[in-house]
Amino acid sequence: MGERVRRDSRIGPAIDRSLIDRARNGDLDAFETIVRARMDAVYRLTSAILGNEADARDAAQETFVAAWRELARLREPDKFEAWLQRVAVNAARQTHRARSRRRIREIPSSTVVALADRAAGAPRDDAAILDAALATLPVEQRAILVLHHLEGRPLAELATILEIPEGTAKSRLFTARRALAAAIASDEERER
Amino acid sequence: MTSPAGDWDDTRLEAAFTARASRVRTLPADLAASVVETLPRRTRAAADRPRALLAAAAAIMLTVGLGGLATVILTNRPQVAATPGPSHLPTGPIAVTAQELGLTPIGVAEALATYQATPDDREVLVSGYLSNDPGPITDGGPTITCDVPDRDSGPLLSPQCSPLVMAEPESIVTRTLTSATVHRPSGPAFSPNFAYAFTPDTPEVPIIGEAAPIAITVVGHFHDRRSASCYIGEQAACQSTFVVDRIVEVDGIGVHRTPVLELGRQAAEQALARAVPGLLVVTTVRTGRGDIEDLEPSFVDPSDIPAPVDSEVIWLIQAITAPDGSSAPRSVRTFLVGEGRDVVVEMTEHGPTSLDPKTALGLPILSAAEAIAVRDGGDPGDRELAVHGWFSPARPLPCPAPPRSVNPVRLQCPFGSQWLLDSPEPLAARQSAPTSGRAGFQALLPFLDQAALTTAARPATREARLVEVVLIGHFHDRRGHGALCDVPDPAACAGFVADGIYSIDGVRAPTSTIVDLEPWEPEPRHEPAWTPADVDGLFDVALPSLEILSRVALPGHRVSQIEPALGTGGLGVIDRDVVWSVTGLDVGPGSAPIRRTFLVVDGTAEAYETAPWEVSNIGFVPFRLIDLPLASPVPASLSPDVDPFARAPHEVAGLVSRTVAMAVDRRVPGDDSEILVRGWYVAHDPAASCPNGQALDAPIRPVLPVCNEGQNWLLELPEQLWSDPSKIGIDRLPTGASINPIIPSDVPFDVPPEWQGGSPTPLAVVVLGHFTDPRVQTYAGDAYFVIDQLVWTSAAGMVTQPDAVRLTASATETPEAVLARIESELGQANLTWVSVLDPRDLAILDPDTIRRAPELAETNAVWVVRRLIDQPYDNLTRRLIDWAFTVDGGERVWGGAGSGVDLATTIDVDPPGSDTRIVEVVDYSRWVLGVRALAAADDLGWRAVGPDDAGWRLEIARGSTPHELAVRWHGYRCQTDWKLSVRRDPPLAGPWVSPSAQSIEGCEEDRISRAVVLTFDRPIDLDTVTTNDNTSGG
């Protein structure tokens, strides 16, 4: 498995270091600027992991609340972007865990549409197959797949974001892909 | 990338991800704004300097404590009046703690007044304000000046200023762009030490801020006894350090101690409760023997740690006495408990004091000398004793084969060399008794599980040592009566008979279970209907005051091994399939503990208890029928309604399924019997990886144990070991029995993914496997269970086995052809598993076999067949795995087990003469084309090779062609079956020839000659023929 080329423009223009420093020192205006600049990327990430708009919204919100709370502890401001993604992944995980305890799950509109399509006998596209397969995976595996395949993060960055050794990132990615393959195969088997 | 499934390559997968992401509705416009609105402005940095910083501060305080518990008491300021204590207890955590510990909340000034008035380490509950902090020390950061009285900075002392607990919430830090100064507070204050307060059950709370002090309530004490370890000039300052034992409240947030799993902590606190009942634990800190000096400065060297608590993990417990209604001060007491130990050591101002347990299950613990005094004191009874001493296990003496049935209390070889001594020095000679000045006696442990004892006797250093034990047992065993012991010397049945092992190295030993159901031939094998837990359950109901010391399950016809009086058929249990013998101490109130022994017929309500001897027409019958209130002869666990294994197979290939606990009982070193086990399977966390780089899911893996994180589990109970989904490793140990099975690469083990959301769901499975696999070549490799087949799962039912597991595509033969070849050499097996793989992979899977059989490496594919065969062993017949190997398309078979494979394909010849039954030529050289018999008397010009003073003498001569080599040897007449090994002798490039035969005792009087002619594929130079230099005929 070779190292992948990182896609660009996924996150947006780089945030000025001075803005980060000001936010670390408690400047809420500076942090608000950061929130507005990164909300889209964080929301996209939490959506991709959770597959549920309501959850994604909560997780994105929690991401920035946690970021504001923890920002002063950020030791390497130059790694702010990776750090923010880590916070987002953790927020998604926490949200998922909290949701798992709910008795009634909110059904996102996209899921309703997909279910309606399936009920009508419409062939499912790859996105729908992927959506169904991802839903069966633990959120940790979803996160690493999303970071790699959607965000285009290479292994080294996965390791940084997830705070794990690169070898571990590699094995976790491998395991996640295998689990995804099994889930897709299982799903396709059921469809037949 | 490897396709996830079918044609799902990278491109398709990423396109799907992108399409999926595009379906998400656009970002809600109000989201960013609503987030910003929710953000708390950090007017106080309570949230941004959380506990981690205080932990750092605590660490600093701790390091100060090493050089001396240096501290700051601002006595140079006028003391303000003591804060009046509240007229009533506040609500919330302070109230809880006050109620729990019986402490009255006071203020900082009152605490200081108490400190000055009462020079003791009484525990107090104090509320105040923790000073703000000058900020982190960083390279290039601001200069920090401490205006508080400085301390004598030892080499470990950080320049960071300490936090203070103050009466008033004043900021004591002035900060500029380039500097920070810590000022003296205007009110009373003291310096806290948090080293003992941060336990895992202390939740993370913001505690130190840069901007302002934070309200805090803590439990702790001044005048800590460890102050004596401070430098003399600093001892007063050390005395005035407030050692915080528990944080109660921070910034109005209650610091409730939440239950957090800490393996061993509960056991340590329970050990303390047993040693000193009635104490209230204030804090329990886990430390290691290498770090304990940080908490107990007197342990400068780990060798100073008292032996009873010296373990890798040590629990430090600070506790106070429970409130008794008086106002008497309650000083804090510190105790140490080694992980898993039962002995508690109290740290006092005079040093560590061991609080050894004085009783075991209600019996006073005697020394070996005291036990001997009881034995020789004129009391011929067999009353139960608990004896402390050092166990000197039996030495590996050569012993004659034991008779089929022996009296369990007979001091026969090698147990005559086994002693319980009053001191740990080993015996000087093999069978010597203790020398003068030492007390000791021979101890027998019949039918007791000694695995833990054996492990303790052979630590990692492999240097055998004596093991400190407390044994519960008795002298004058009824089975030692002359009529039963059946030996001329009464002393041979006069040892101390242990009924249970109470503790090993101070650690409480598990209750012994022996399930030994191997039948004597030709009896059929039966399996118990009950598990040990079922038996315990019966006694829980029938006799709740019984502390079980041992349980033994035996076939009825072997009951005489544990109760010789019943060998003649007394009670009739000899005809029962399985009988449980249960021995325990009845610790019911009102009398001293007494030993009681029961026989219970498995799966029935038929039970007997030992009784005063009765003489009947069949001899001594030491049992009487009793009425155990057995609720049902079939425990609920076997009911199909509640048993998740009800649909599982109960027998496979003649093996009846066992629980995990029963399988564990079969974990006897050297016993590689196949076992059918039912249990709950949990694979390792899919995210786990091993620090040492072991590949957990590699297609070909060595058959070796893996790191802790990568272990699979087979559990007795469907337990959740990963209660915290965010952790890779387990966060609790199983409460039931467990096995960490090894699943070899060529064993199909396809189970549905049981991991979801970071935690697994145990899966009910039935597997075949065995301990003592020869491929697990690690220290204690015998202890690992290796799976041979996944038989059944609750998810899929019976698991279909492939005709062969193909790990290479190079094989050309069919499994049927391979099996036929192997069975022609090794006979039929009860069950076979076939796999074929590349020899390079075999070198990973089974390196020892490749070393022993290098020809297996000289091919493209090797067939490996595991064969379930019957093998006689120790008068019993066991069913176990035998391995067979053959190269694809080859003719020769290698096979064997245990000590390693050997060439099974031989060239056989029937020599003339009635004294020789067969000669098998084992051709390791692959030079031999054939063999024929030869009259030994033929005069071929024999010449001797090798020594002629051994049990045999080898001679060689040229045959009728240069390719023929005649071999003649002289061995005993009664040795009828011979093997003639032929190897290549590298130095001389000629054959190495050596005959061997099984030695038969008592026939070493008459030697005869035997001869064969070997035909080689090359001419043989007689000068190059060699033989073994020192092998005798045996």
Q: What is the tens place of the pLDDT at every residue in B48-62?
A: 323 333 333 333 232
Distance from CA of A144 to the nearest CA of B (A): 11
Burial pattern B4-27, b for ≥16 Cβ within 10 A else e, equals bbeebebeebbebbeebbebbeeb
For residue A73, the chain B residues in CB contact (below 8 A) are: 48-50, 52
Q: What is the pLDDT of residue B565?
A: 80
| B934, B1009 Cβ separation under 8 angstroms | no
Query: If you search the block for the tokens 């061991």, which residue do you land on?
Result: B354
Query: If you search the block for the tokens 């923010």, which residue do you land on?
Result: A84
Residue A149 DSSP label:
I
DSSP run (H or E) holding A111: helix A109-119
- Among B389-403, B426-440, B1015-1029, the minimum mean pLDDT is found in B426-440
Q: Above 70 in pLDDT, residue B989? A: yes
More confidently predicted of B41 and B968:
B968
| B928, B1014 Cβ separation under 8 angstroms | yes
Q: Which of A57, A109, A115 should we substitute to test contact with B (largest number of B Cβ atoms within 10 Å)?
A: A57
More confidently predicted of B371 and B63:
B371
pLDDT (average), residues B405-419: 78
Three-class secondary structure of residue B372 per DSSP? helix
Q: Above 70 in pLDDT, residue B882? A: yes
One-letter amino acid for residue B1027 of the chain:
T
Q: Which of B26, B689, B755 should we substitute to test contact with A (largest number of A Cβ atoms within 10 Å)?
A: B689
Q: Above 50 in pLDDT, residue B615? A: no
* Cβ contact, residue pair A175, B687, below 8 Å: yes
Q: Which two three-digit tokens encode residue A190?
A: 């059921």
For residue B136, the chain A residues in CB contact (below 8 A) are: none
Dist CA B287 CA B195 (whole Å): 11
Which ipTM score applies to this complex? Answer: 0.81
How distant, in Å, are the alpha carbons of B489, B533, B622, B736, B738 from that of B661?
40, 9, 30, 8, 7
For residue A28, the chain B residues in CB contact (below 8 A) are: 36, 39, 41-42
* Cβ contact, residue pair B5, A182, below 8 Å: yes
* Cβ contact, residue pair A69, B24, below 8 Å: no
B402: confidence class by pLDDT, cuts 50, 70, 90? low
B95: confidence class by pLDDT, cuts 50, 70, 90? low
B232: confidence class by pLDDT, cuts 50, 70, 90? low
Question: B896 has which bridge partners?
Answer: B883
Q: Is the dihedral of CA B934, B939, B944, B949 positive or negative?
A: positive
Tell me which residue in B32, B40, B42 faces A35 most closely, judged by beta carbons: B32
Minimum Cα–Cα distance from A68: chain B residue: B39
Dist CA B43 CA B37 (whole Å): 15
How distant, in Å, are the alpha carbons of A89, A132, A162, B206, B525 from that of A83?
10, 29, 9, 21, 64
Listed in sequence order, the residues at least 6 apart from A178 whose beta carbon sits closer than 8 Å to its beta carbon are B4
Tell me which residue in B6, B16, B757 faces A127 most closely, judged by beta carbons: B16
- Convert the pLDDT of each residue in A149-176 to its tens digit: 888 888 888 888 887 777 778 878 888 8
pLDDT (average), residues B530-557: 86
- Convert the pLDDT of each residue in B898-914 to its tens digit: 556 889 898 888 765 67
Dist CA B956 CA B948 (whole Å): 13
Size of interface A-B (CB pairs under 8 A): 148
* Cβ contact, residue pair B725, A97, below 8 Å: yes
Of B1014, B948, B947, nearest to B983 by C-alpha is B1014
For residue A180, the chain B residues in CB contact (below 8 A) are: 4
A residues 139..158 contacting B (CB < 8 A):
139-141, 145-146, 149-150
B470: confidence class by pLDDT, cuts 50, 70, 90? very high
Could you give phi then psi for residue B823, rounded to 5 degrees? Answer: -70, -30
Q: Which two three-digit tokens encode residue B963?
A: 């390719």
A178: confidence class by pLDDT, cuts 50, 70, 90? confident
Three-class secondary structure of residue B274 per DSSP? helix
* Cβ contact, residue pair B758, A61, below 8 Å: no
Dist CA B934 CA B362 (whole Å): 77
Q: What is the pLDDT of residue B864?
A: 95
For residue A93, the chain B residues in CB contact (below 8 A) are: 726
Tell me which residue in A35, A150, A185 faces B36 most closely, judged by beta carbons: A35
Percent of chain B at pLDDT > 90 equals: 17
The rounded Cα B276 to chain-centroid distance in angstroms is 29
Q: Above 50 in pLDDT, residue B602? A: yes
Looking from the CA of B272 toward its CB, the CA atoms found within 13 Å total 30
Q: Above 80 in pLDDT, residue B952? A: no
- Among B262-271, B710-719, B969-978, the minimum mean pLDDT is found in B262-271
A residues 79..98 contacting B (CB < 8 A):
93, 96-97
Three-class secondary structure of residue A128 per DSSP? helix
Tell me which residue in B2, B16, B52 faces A130 most closely, judged by beta carbons: B16
The rounded Cα B844 to chain-centroid distance in angstroms is 26
> Highest mean pLDDT: which of B198-212, B247-261, B504-518?
B504-518
Could you give phi then psi for residue B904, rounded to 5 degrees? Answer: -95, -25
For residue A36, the chain B residues in CB contact (below 8 A) are: 32
Residue A105 sits at the chain B interface (C-beta within 8 Å): no
B643: confidence class by pLDDT, cuts 50, 70, 90? low
Q: Given its phi and psi angles, is residue B987 left (phi above 0), alpha (psi -120 to 50 degrees) or beta?
A: alpha
- Convert the pLDDT of each residue in B343-382 to its tens digit: 788 888 777 877 766 788 888 888 888 888 888 876 667 8
Angle at B560 between CA B556 and CA B566, to 5 degrees: 85
pLDDT (average), residues B811-839: 92
Mean per-residue pLDDT of chain B: 76
Percent of chain B at pLDDT > 70 equals: 75
How distant, in Å, are the alpha carbons of B407, B486, B558, B562 from that of B565?
10, 12, 12, 9
More confidently predicted of A121 and B286:
B286
* Cβ contact, residue pair B20, A73, below 8 Å: no
pTM of the model: 0.42
Q: Which two three-digit tokens encode residue B70?
A: 């240096």
Q: What is the pLDDT of residue B52?
A: 30
Question: A185 has which bridge partners?
Answer: none
Residue A33 sits at the chain B interface (C-beta within 8 Å): no
Dist CA B674 CA B869 (whole Å): 9
Question: Residue A119: how many CB atoms within 10 A of its CB?
Answer: 8
Of B541, B505, B766, nearest to B659 by C-alpha is B766
Q: Above 90 in pLDDT, residue B1010? A: no
Q: What is the pLDDT of residue B867?
A: 93
- Among A41-45, B336-340, B664-668, the minimum mean pLDDT is found in B664-668
| B190, B244 Cβ separation under 8 angstroms | no
Dist CA B970 CA B952 (whole Å): 5
Distance from CA of B749 to the nearest CA of A (A): 15
Q: Which of B13, B208, B726, B756 should we substitute to test contact with A (largest number of A Cβ atoms within 10 Å)?
A: B13
One-letter amino acid for residue B373 of the chain:
A
Strand B546-555 with B977-985, pairing: unpaired
Distance from CA of B49 to the nearest CA of A (A): 7
Q: Is the backbone peptide bond immediately before B510 cis, with ω within 30 degrees of 0?
A: no
B1020: confidence class by pLDDT, cuts 50, 70, 90? very high
Residue B560 DSSP label:
G
B948: confidence class by pLDDT, cuts 50, 70, 90? low
Q: What is the pLDDT of residue A50?
A: 86
Dist CA B754 CA B763 (whole Å): 7
* Cβ contact, residue pair A47, B24, below 8 Å: yes
Q: Which of B36, B137, B722 should we substitute to test contact with A (largest number of A Cβ atoms within 10 Å)?
A: B36
For residue A168, the chain B residues in CB contact (below 8 A) are: 687, 689
Tell me which residue in B24, B48, B687 faces A140 most closely, judged by beta carbons: B687
Burial environment of residue B641 by CB neighbours within 10 A (0 to 12, 13 to 18, 19 or more): exposed
Distance from CA of B15 to the nearest CA of A (A): 8
B939: confidence class by pLDDT, cuts 50, 70, 90? confident
Of B662, B802, B680, B669, nearest to B741 by C-alpha is B680
More confidently predicted of B318 and B88:
B318
- Among B60-74, B357-371, B606-620, B723-737, the minimum mean pLDDT is found in B60-74
Q: Above 80 in pLDDT, residue B681? A: yes
To the nearest 10 degrees (0 to 180), the angle between helices A28-50 and A17-24 is 100
- Among A91-100, B119-128, B200-209, the minimum mean pLDDT is found in B200-209
| B108, B128 Cβ separation under 8 angstroms | yes
Distance from CA of B708 to the nearest CA of A (A): 16
More confidently predicted of B621 and A58:
A58
More confidently predicted of B145 and A139:
A139
For residue B208, the chain A residues in CB contact (below 8 A) are: none
For residue B52, the chain A residues in CB contact (below 8 A) are: 73
Dist CA B382 CA B936 (whole Å): 67
Distance from CA of B758 to the nearest CA of A (A): 6
Of B218, B222, B223, nearest to B202 by C-alpha is B218
- Among B557-566, B840-849, B867-876, B905-914, the minimum mean pLDDT is found in B867-876
More confidently predicted of B1022 and B781:
B1022
For residue A64, the chain B residues in CB contact (below 8 A) are: 35-36, 39
B649: confidence class by pLDDT, cuts 50, 70, 90? confident
Minimum Cα–Cα distance from A138: chain B residue: B757
Dist CA B394 CA B687 (whole Å): 46
pLDDT (average), residues A34-60: 85
Concatenated DSSP letters for B442-496? EEE-TT---HHHHHHHS-TT-----EEEEEEEESS-GGGSHHHH--S-GGGG-SE
Listed in sequence order, the residues at least 6 apart from B747 whose beta carbon sits closer than 8 Å to its beta carbon are B787, B788, B789, B790, B805, B833
- Convert the pLDDT of each residue in A19-37 to its tens digit: 888 888 778 888 888 888 8
Query: If you search the block for the tokens 């997909």, which residue do you land on?
Result: A114
B497: confidence class by pLDDT, cuts 50, 70, 90? very high
- The distance between the two most distant Cα atoms of chain B, rounded to a whole number of Å, is 121
Listed in sequence order, the residues at least 6 apart from B381 whose beta carbon sits closer than 8 Å to its beta carbon are B476
A4: confidence class by pLDDT, cuts 50, 70, 90? very low
More confidently predicted of B538 and B670:
B538
Question: Residue A75: how many CB atoms within 10 A of its CB?
Answer: 8
How distant, in Å, are the alpha carbons of B228, B326, B333 from that of B330?
20, 10, 9
Of A46, A40, A42, A4, nearest to A153 by C-alpha is A4
Dist CA B861 CA B143 (whole Å): 72
Query: If you search the block for the tokens 């390719």, which residue do you land on?
Result: B963
The rounded Cα B201 to chain-centroid distance in angstroms is 27
Q: Above 80 in pLDDT, residue B528? A: yes
In the sheet with B1007-1016, reading across from the earlier edge strand, the strands are B928-934, B1007-1016, B964-972, B954-958, B943-945
Could you give phi then psi for residue B968, rounded to 5 degrees? Answer: -130, 140
Q: Above 80 in pLDDT, residue B800? A: yes
* Cβ contact, residue pair A72, B686, below 8 Å: no
Q: Distance from first CA to last CA of chain A, Å, rounded? A: 31
